[in-house]
Structure 1
Amino acid sequence: MRTVIFTPTGKDGRLIAALLERAGKPCHSADTFLQLCASIEEGAGAAIIAEEAFAHESIAPLLEVLQHQPPWSDFPVLLLTVSGRVTAESERLRKQREPLGNIFLLERPLRPETLLSTLEFALRGRQRQYQIRDQIRQYALAQEALLRSEKLAVTGRLAASIAHEINNPLEAITNLLYLMRCDPSPEQMNVLLSEAEQELARVTEITKQTLRFYREPSQPTETDVVSVLDSVLKLYANRMAAAGVTVERELRTRDAFVLSTPGELRQVLANLIGNAIDAMRGGGRLRVRLSELSSCSFASSIRISIADNGSGIPPEVLPSIFEPFVTTKGETGTGLGLWVTSEIMHKNGWTIRVRSRRAPGRSGTVFSIFIPKFDAPSTPTAHAASAGARD
């Protein structure tokens, strides 16, 4: 890593540059604070600055660069001070350098060994900072890959549900065509054709619901929660029927509009409803409730509750249920669904709660989602909702 040297007066700059070159440490001399700042932003490892530079130029550009470092960065500055008693000028310089942060004070005259060892220590610290930066980037890439993986898994599960939903009316149409060939009388033909049209209407509706996944806006917009919820329940209808799961749908409000991308809201609901169905392998009851909450402290919020009377979540798993790769489904689960759900919730400033019980005869799980209600721009309370809505 390169060291930047800024000593506007005297021979210190040339002497330090020569010393570093002999020690095999790349360096570069800056003539102004602006050049110094440019070198730091380009990726310097450390800076050596003579304190008298503060008396000749404004350090505002340097402060601006140092105060806007990324969270992982703490750029090291080796400051060459002047020995002697405390004076008004030395006090002024001391106060001026305080905001610089990670400073190593070296009093002149100093030994070359002292300068080299201090610089080596500063460069090692800077190297560790870059390692932390790389780890943060790798973690972010891993998170992005996991999100993509779970989105593909959700798409696969929804595709399977859609295939089942479309297959049923197609089988019915095939049977109706067979009956038409067997009994070609006009009266019976009209009845069979009417039934076939109804089955084709079912296929058309399922296709429309599927196409919405790919035609929805990618930016947050006014979203009807009831419409999104109904679309998810329709996609899972065949799977719930096959599993012996009945649905109780309770809408305490129909004015349920939120600011969201429909795709993200649909993915959250699909994850939670899919998990609820998986927890009721022997059949059960799925209760979906939509309500509006208001309080003096918070603007109106929409609460979506999804409850099942399935097997429940083990108490030892519940505290980590939103962490990646945590699953109660054994080899059939990816352990990413609830983690993706929590990431979507966090990104949008929503809140999610979970309660679960495993008592014999009284087991089940309830997930509650709290989303600030979307008001029209003309409404005084528009966009005043708090992300942490509470009931």
Structure 2
Amino acid sequence: MTQSMVPSADPDRLAALHRYEILDTPHEPGFDQIVALASHICDAPIAVINLIEDKRQWFKAEVGLGIRETPLDISICRHFLAQPGVTVVPDMLGDDRLCANPLVGAGEGLRFYAGCLLQSRDGHGIGTLCVLDRRARDLSEGQRFALKALADQVMAQMELRLALKQKARLLEQKETLLKEVNHRTKNNLQLISSIIQLQLRTLQDPSAREALLDTSSRIRSMATLHERLYRADEADSVDLANFLETLAQGFQSTAPEGITFSVDAVSLAVSLDNAVPISLIVNELATNAIKYAYRDTGGGEIRITLERTDGKAGLLVRDFGQGLPADFDIRRGRSLGMRVILALAGQLGADISMRNAHPGVECRLSFAPQHVQAADRSGQ
């Protein structure tokens, strides 16, 4: 068979080979172990995972060669790209296709060849798993079966490797898309907040102004969340500790003089579905504390705490101000803010309580374990 008869340059075959994105990659243990096993089972000094390109043969793994590629014109395996299954040539000196190959010869030259075709899922021969020896010989039926089984494992490894790379690419594309969505959402929310601020300049009614200010604060919290997600490494989750610190900075910038915010939070990764209601609940509680806790005292601290205890996560917002009326019941609160808090807690699947802490008010939001996911800042 002449080189022109060998389908090494077939464009469909080359496309099938290149689809695996494996050429010129480093050694990988999974492939190295296969050639070592093939060498051992077949009692051969040389074993190779050989991939045939248009001008070269490249070795993903090898035993007994010490090189990674050779020119195509001295390839033995290229002659068998159209021959499925196991091919055995007991003595290449007696084979018209191979006897003139410079690698073949008496003495230190190669004499024995056995290879199993590596076929892509669409049937293209892309290379071989082969064993070679410097003496003429044969393989037993058991060795032939093992060589075929190991070749199947090579293709299974290549398919798995490709699937993992494709999955990683899809995840990267998803992250990029989510980041763009969060960026645009943040910009749109900031635009809405600016429009509300313009509307406030024309309003004189105190109740209407207060309602718009509360709405603007809620929108600002959501914009802060999407800004955090846009800048995060993962676009569909957020470290709640860092996010609470950012929220507190925003509250501080608009709070009356004398009111200060502090945050004491463990690291906690939550999904976007959790982060949105959490951010709005904290916004409502902080807004209430700013409005009512220190109304007659001139200022004080509003403390935000995030903790984990007995498999649950607890979010606490506390002030040290006037406290709640004696007959206060969070479940009977009629204000829009209280109704928003209860609705969001229900959406989150969380328990919520509000009590007098003497001094001040403490509101606690408790998450069941299925609603939280731990994140270790140390990277361990």
The TM tier, using the shorter chain, reads 0.3 to 0.5
More strand per residue: 1 or 2? 2
Give the TM-score, by structure 1 length: 0.35
Give the TM-score, by structure 2 length: 0.36
